[in-house]
Chains A and B, each alone.
Chain A
Amino acid sequence: MSFEIPIGPQHPIHVEPIMLRLKVEGELIVDVDVDVSYLHRGIEKGLEVRPYIQGLYLAERICGICNCAHSLCYCLNVEQLLGKEAPPRARYLRLIVEELSRMHSHLLWLGHYFHTLGFETLFMYFWRDRERVMDMLELITGNRVTTAYNTIGGVRRDLPQEAEAKLRRALDYLEERMKYYEKVVDGEPTILARTQGVGVLKSSEAISLGTVGPHLRASGIRHDVRLDDPYSGHDEVPFNVVTHDGCDCYARVKVRLGEVVESINMIRYALDHLPSGEYRLKIPPLFKAPEGESLARVEAPRGELVHYSISNGGTNPYRYKVRTPTLANIFSVVYMLKSRGDREVYIADVPPILGGIDPCICCTARVLVTDEARRKRRILTLTDLRKYSQGGRRVRG
C-alpha cells in the first residue's frame, strides 16, 4: 500500500516554492516527482526585448544569491559578442567580488542547512558571521545582496581606499571562525548522524546525471570552471579545487567549508597583486552588437553557469539562453530520493538530501502547467510558449 505525500510549494524546510510528490510505503520513499515551475517569470523572453545594458539589470535578478555570477556571465557574454575584454584591474576586482559573493552564498547555505537539520544555534552563528561578508560587499559595491558591480567592459567603481584594510581584517576573522566550524562539524554527533551515509551519489552516478559544482566535487570529481576555463584572472590567482570522496551529505558540507577558506586565500592574493590602471572600458550605453553567437561559462556558487546568446546585429539579443546549476543538479535529487537496492531513503532524509544540493529554485523554474483539480499536467512546447508570450492568453492545463 503506497501513499502520495506532497511537500511544498509552501513548506518550512524551503522558503522557495518547490513541489515534491513523494510516493511512500511506510517510511520508505519509493518514487519522487519534482515540480519547479512556480517561479517561472519569463526572463529569457524579457532579455530579448531589452537593450543589452537594461538586460544586465534583469540578468542580475535571475537569482539574488548568485547575482554576481549571473551579471559576470552576462557581461562576459556581451563582451565576447563585441570582441572586447575587460582591463586587468577590472578582472581582479570582479574576482574579489565574485569570491566574496561565493563566501556569502556558502555561509548562507551552511546556516540554512543546519537549520533544516534542526541545529538552530549553528544557523545563528553562520548568519552572524555572514554579516561580516555582507558589510564588505556593501563597502565595495554599495549594496548588500544585489551588488550591481559588474558592467559591460569592466566594473562600475574602483576599490574604495579604506576597503583593503577592512577587508583583510574581516578575512582574518572569518578564517578563525572557519577553523572553529570545521571542528564543530567533525565532532558533533547530531550532524554526523544526520549527514553521513545519507544521500549517497557515487562518482559514476554523479557524472551520468550531469551534476555540477560543489555537489559534483563532493562525489570526488575534480571539476571547476575556474580551473578548466579561467574567465576572470583565475589563471593568475592560485587556488585549490576542494574535493571529498565521501559522496554523501557530510562530504557536501565539508566541500563548501573548504571552499570558503579557498575564497579567503584567493581574495588575499588578489589584493596583494591588484594591477593598477583603468577599471572599465568606455562603452556607450546604447550600442549594436555585431552578428554572431557567444557562450560564457562561470563557476557560480552552486556550480557551472552557462549563458548563451545569439545576436542579429541589433540593440537587443535575438535569443538568450540561461542554463543554471540547480537545474543540472535537480535530477540527482530525484535519483537520490528513491530507495533502490540496499539504499533505503526515509521521509526524514528529504531535508538533508534536498538541502544538500543547495537548491536555488528561482534560477531553475521551467514552465509546466498543472491542473490540481483534474490531476493533469503537461509540459508546454515551444509553439505553445510562443503563442502564450505573443497573445498573452491563459494556457489551460
Chain B
Amino acid sequence: MGLVEKIVRKCRARSPWILLFDTGACNACDIEVAACLTPRYDVERFGVLLKGSPRHADILVVTGPVTRQARDRIIRIYEQMPEPKYVVAAGTCATSGGAYWGCYNTYPGLDSVIPVHAYVSGCPVKPEAVLKAISILVEKIEKGEV
C-alpha cells in the first residue's frame, strides 16, 4: 500500500457521508436512524453527515423490505453513487424481509437486490446499533477490508 492510498483511506474513513432510503419500511427504522443525528447520539462526531443526493454519498443506509415498486429505484440510486460505495441494511426487514415475510409485494431482504456490506438487526433498530454498525464499517474501510 502506497503512501497516497494510505492517506486517501484515512480521509475516506473520517468523512463517511450517508444517504438514507426507505424501500418499504414502516418508518420506525427511519426515525431511529434519523435519531442518530440528533444531540443524544450525535453521529456527526464520526464525520457522518446525512446527504440528500446519492451522488454525494459514500454509505447507503436502507430500511425496510424491498417492495416491487421501490426495487428499480434502489438499484438506480445504488448505480448513481460514486465508487467506492457501501451499503448498510438497517433492521430486520432489510436483512431478511422481517414482519412482511410472505407478503406478495416484497422481496426477502435487500441482498437479493443489491450487495450489502453490513447488517443491523432489530425491529426497529436501536440508534446505538446503527452507531456501532457505522463505526465497524468505517474501521474496515480504513483497513481496506471491504
Contacts and interface: CB of A to CB of B under 8 A. Distances in A.
Interface in B18-44: 20-32, 34-35, 38-40
B119 to A, nearest CB: 19
A12 B57 CA distance: 13
Contacts of B53: 12
Interface stretch (A124-132, A218-226, A232-240, A290-298): A124-132
Contact of A61 (B22, B31, B67, B99): B99
A64 B64 CA distance: 11
Contact of A46 (B40, B67, B70, B103): B103
Nearest to A43: B103
A9 B73 contact: yes
A43 B22 CA distance: 17
Interface string A63-89: 111010000000000000000000000
A49 B100 CA distance: 12
Contacts of A127: 34-35, 38-39
A40 B26 contact: no
A62 B26 contact: yes
A17 B104 contact: no
Interface in A362-384: 362, 365, 367, 370, 372
B38 A39 contact: no
B90 to A, nearest CB: 12
A137 to B, nearest CB: 12
B75 to A, nearest CB: 12
A67 B39 contact: no
B102 interface: yes
A41 B21 contact: no
Given A45-B104, A145-B124, A388-B104, A15 B39 contact: no
B102 A145 contact: no
A41 B67 contact: yes
B65 interface: yes
The 5 closest A-B pairs by CB, nearest first: A64-B28, A12-B52, A127-B38, A64-B27, A42-B103
Contacts of A123: 38
Interface in B77-124: 77, 99-100, 102-106, 123-124
Contact of A146 (B20, B28, B40): B28
A353 B39 CA distance: 27
B112 to A, nearest CB: 15
A146 B77 CA distance: 28
A57 B54 contact: no
